[in-house]
Chain A
Amino acid sequence: MRVLGIETSCDETGVAVYDHRQGLLAHTLYSQIGVHAEFGGVVPELASRDHVRKTVPLVAETLERAGLQGRDIDGVAYTAGPGLVGALLVGAAIGRSLAWGWGVPAVPVHHMEGHLLAPMLEEPRPGFPFVALLVSGGHTQLVEVQSVGRYRMLGDSLDDAAGEAFDKTAKLLGLPYPGGPELARLAEKGRPDRFRFPRPMTDRPGLDFSFSGLKTFALHTLQRELADAEIPTQEREQIKADIAYAFEQAVVETLVIKCRRALDETGSRTLVLAGGVSANRRLRERMREAIAGEAGEVFYPRPEYCTDNGAMIAFAGAQRLLGGQQEPLRFAVDPRWRLVDLPAIDRRR
């Protein structure tokens, strides 16, 4: 089965074709970062407007790259939530209508399920069951994955998602939007032992997260360290790099501690990292060091499948279509769709 996947939940338009026998045949991505940069964050209305301009051209380009015609497509998957309602609606309208026009089934896909299953686009792929850490600008969740659609929420963020904390802290440090990856770059220049930030909620049982305090801690550290106006520019920059380092380290170590705990609690030996923040180099390295070997195996997709993309939607959609799920002749989106509300698919592949 060849499935066209469309992702438009936030500020990236992604389109891909996945074939359940041949794997990923083509994928394209258009990032709106340039559209939103001058506003310091994603403007939902502008995001919707850009998706309307970009989706169909990307569908055409993706088919061309795959050497396919519309009639070669057996199903269409589109992200139906969670995300920005207007942005989601664009992808859903186009995706559902394409499927109608081609006379093939369509299926709405949960954005986080897409992330969760993305490591299965790679070889070797993780086998069920596994524990997944979903870390992005909107989510920090630990999920036990028994099979497609059988998810148990183990832990969730009580306030800011990890990626959100990265972006907000980057802003405090004066880094350009979107700040997360910039902060990680700055942290490379930081001195390891200059500051030590707390590891929130690791001193008590449980798998929930809280990252908003770290952002505040960074702010106070910054204010205290730079209070003296006499500090030369170069030293100020070094202090910022040191803060970036300590912040990133605190987030990473907190995630590592919770992941080990989740593996212990579930008895699972397989950990999957997914979501935009899982592209973070330090997180990948530390997770491998801490977990691979002794406690189990760590899987993560290549960075282009960590951030939002159409490939993961095509893949998750294919699993659901192969499992017999399809949408009637209508479309709907749910900006607050909960992962645990997804129906289970019994087919295993």
Chain B
Amino acid sequence: MTKILAIETAGPGCSAALWVDGEVEERFELKPRGHSELILGMMQRLLAQAGLRLTQLDALGFSRGPGSFTGVRIATGVIQGAAFAAELPVVPVSTLAALAQGCCRETAARRILCALDARMGELYWGAYGLRADGLVELIGREQVAPADEVELPEGDGWHGVGSGWAAFGDALARRMGPALEATDASRLCRARDVVVLAAAGHLAGHGVSAAEALPVYLRDRVATPKR
């Protein structure tokens, strides 16, 4: 039996999900700035409900960003601590990939354009395609850029998801033209999708140690040197 616990706190939602051989249980709450109050309790209740102890898990997963810097670090810190204490491997999962995975779980979309509002006039951006095995894969690269500079994918039938489509929907739609099939700006990244990708990563041997479980911010120029 493969048992994996994953969390997501990079966005306004806070969620934890437990995977046991493909069966997923999730706890979710929409409470911006309440993540640090909620997340450990969610993890604890999921384990208790399944009659499991942390050390009985095979791996931990977390939504490693991009997203709110603070939110991403909450997930990272919690998973680092739990993984170190229970000596478990960690599978970092892209927040954009999990967002795309959730879109494919609930809709017939096969090509997903994830855009999260990165503030400062920019987007966190990534294009994903649904593979035959039911998992999404990145097309091109994840990036942070203004809406008129993000790299557009080829082909059509694209579904736009994420808060970036609310903030920059018009500019993006104009650039995409008829290649854009639908948008859903309200979709949030969920732990139930993080855990699916984490499970696949774990089975493929992509686990890292607690110390190596690190965030991906995409935006790395956050200060200007003096002089």
Residues of A within 8 A of B (CB): 38-40, 43, 45-46, 48-49, 52-53, 55-57, 59-60, 70, 85-86, 89-102, 329-333
Contact = CB atoms under 8 A, between A and B. Distances in A.
A46 B222 contact: yes
Given A97-B81, A330-B41, A333-B36, 4 more contacts: A93-B76, A94-B78, A329-B40, A330-B38
The size bracket of the interface on B is 20 to 34
A101 B36 contact: no
Contacts of B225: 38-39
Residue from A56, A90, A95 whose CB has the most chain B CB atoms within 10 Å:
A56
B214 interface: yes
Q: For chain B, what secondary structure do more than half of its interface residues adopt (helix, strand, loop), or is it mixed?
A: helix
B40 A330 contact: yes
A53 B83 CA distance: 15
Interface of B: 36-38, 40-41, 43-44, 54, 69-70, 73-74, 76-87, 210-211, 214-215, 217, 222-226
A100 B36 contact: no
B41 A93 contact: no
B81 A100 contact: yes
Nearest to B34: A330
B19 to A, nearest CB: 19
16 contacts: A43-B222, A55-B80, A59-B84, A86-B73, A92-B36, A93-B36, A97-B78, A97-B80, A97-B81, A98-B85, A100-B82, A100-B85, A101-B83, A102-B85, A329-B41, A331-B37
A56 B210 contact: yes
Residue of B38, B77, B79 ringed by the most chain A CB atoms within 10 A: B77
B214 A96 contact: no
A3 B217 CA distance: 33
A92 B81 CA distance: 10
B85 A101 contact: yes
